[in-house]
A and B are shown apart, each in its own frame.
Chain A
Amino acid sequence: MRDKRTSVKDALFEPPGPKTQKIIWAVTALSLAALAALIVVVVRRFYETGQLDSKYWSIFTKWTTWKFLGKGLLGTLEAAVVAGIVTFAVGFILMVLRISGSIIASAVSTALIEFTRGVPTLLFIYFFFLVVPKFGVKLPAFWKICLPVSISACGVVAEVLRSGVNAVPKGQKEAAQSLGMMPHSVFLKVVFPQAFRFVVPALISELVIVVKDTTFAYVVNFPDLMQNAKVLISNYDALLSVYLVVAVIYIVINWLLNRASVAAAHRTGK
């Protein structure tokens, strides 16, 4: 609820003087020229290699194409939402164990956090895709993508939440204790709600990674946006056009997530 907002820009740079202003203009103009040149080169290459032919783009005039991509988008969103919830739940438990007084619980949790943060998502996916079935456990494709993506992200979420808890001033806990509140109440009603508000932006960034990790669904044949895009590509031989459209869809999803995080941060008065 501060009236004055200090942006990173204000904090790092002082306002430019006349000479600096000229340099900024020059660099800006140069960058724009370079960018324009790059776009011209790319578009020309596409044109020369025939990637801009209508046969590659006409598929997007068909309703069935969009329906198929829409189905994939739904798969992506389902996987992302479920993976996001599992990630948060497991991350929360790991964080609580880590900050609990118990040395053993804390050590186990720390080991799990370091392990899940250090191993690439794809390795977990291969584990669920190739190793787990060998033990006779038959998981649906949906869980074969959701579980490894969640496992991969939960360690980071646990650490993000812990940094939030550490950022809550000690006096908040003491005030709650002095009212006679029990430790779990102190944590759930006073400390954690504030910690959560501190880390909403970082959590959303991690959620964006979860969304992007669901593109590994093609490995386990789960029909998400990426998997369906691949099907379209092989059917129509339209590599560039489909990838461009799908990229835009992913950008829109993650942009919306970012907007949501900014809105959430504003609403919680930061």
Chain B
Amino acid sequence: MNDMTQPELMHGHHGPAQGITRWLYTTNHKDIGTLYLWFSFAMFLIGGCMALVIRSELFQPGLQLVQPEFFNQMTTMHGLIMVFGAVMPAFVGLANWMIPLMVGAPDMALPRMNNLGFWILPFAFAMLLSTLLMEGGGPNFGWTFYAPLSTTYAPPSVTFFIFSVHMMGISSIMGAINVIATILNMRAPGMTMMKMPLFVWTWLITAFLLIAVMPVLAGVITMMLMDIHFGTSFFDAGGGGDPVLFQHLFWFFGHPEVYIMILPAFGIISHIVPTFSRKRLFGYASMVYATASIALLSFVVWAHHMFTVGLPLAGELFFMYSTMLIAVPTGVKVFNWVSTMFRGAISFETPMLFAIGFIVLFTIGGFSGLMLAISPADFQYHDTYFVVAHFHYVLVPGAVFSIIAGAYYWLPKWTGHMYNERLGQWHFWLSMIGVNLTFFPMHFIGLAGMPRRIPDYALQFADFNMIASIGGFMFGFSQLLFLYIVIKCIKGGEKAEAKPWEGAEGLEWQVASPAPYHTFAQPPRID
């Protein structure tokens, strides 16, 4: 380590380096966690701006602001940036910050790889965003990039898209390896697997999912690259390939990917609900088993994204049944959270508000998911706004709310200050109203027959689209309030104690607030 030369380290109590080099060369899990979180927030705003371009165009029927070519680039980029740039890095950031603190480790297992894993991302996304300025435009084939629209019919910039996705994949895999090594090898003595906090458990399972499916995604885009530039025909029927094969491979990655974005959220909620209910989490063991079974099931449900491609009847039935099964462990989780609250002593600080918002709205997303699983009905729902409503309900008030809840929950630990509770409550209510105003009407326009990914629509969809657009702007701008609250909290505020929440439990609350640059140099003892 370079830092070895610095005299402070000799004492084992050195602080961070000064200036920009602190961030460039850092191998400290807290610094890297911070970098990830800021990066993902920046991406959240960029992806959000694209969403607002989409919602502005859809405010009224007719083409007003953008042309269809650009509209398609916006939907594609919005999806890619939110999935790979906002949600996933945010969870990696939280993992970096919290997992070593939660398991009593001094740092992540592989600090230098940790640094590399982060610093790949800004370059990957710079490359991806630069495609918007290229001749022929950026990727315009949807975040699911179905062949042959993304191969034979793609704009020239598709090659840059492929390389940037490769880079994101490498970064995620490095993050996952690091998380697994940390959790498996660096737990404090006495912390058995079944004593691990749930955020650690869910992240461990998520990391295994990442290792299982990110390489498959890398394989798929490598095949695309070869089809485009090296004359193979994996996905081109003319050369003996099959465009449907692309969808099978993509969703073999894509469905576990969905759970990669939601399992850590379950972990966060499983910390916050008990804390503010001042009662132990109900059914810890069943939470762990439910998470593991959701992860395992995620490998055998992928074709429910493809009910209309013409699967044989047996295939449709199999994927319908397996998908419906997922409702069982997911239900167990929701029941457990509700039972945790039941007969607790609940208070409603901002993290708890977001967690309750999560439980209610994620469950609504789960219900629409169950409806989508019914294959004959899916023939009506497939590729409509009903699907858009469904996955936004599980991703925005699901994944994103959990990240925000986690941020409020741990901000005192990170900054040493309490955030402004009043503003936090405002942020919650604005987000809650905004998110429902945006996405709830989408159920209706989807059922009424509006396909997704269209820049213009028939008149009967006009009213709900307008409401959704207004809600979208409301939700989007409320996030600037979040930015303000976070910055204000970093700059100052009421001093936070080591354990600012009365009902909180876990090792992370045993270190001072803000958490010192180095923690748990001596592993704590758990009994």
The answer to whether A binds B is no
> Which residues in B have some Cβ–Cβ distance to A below 8 Å?
none
Residues of chain A whose beta carbon lies under 8 Å from any beta carbon of chain B:
none
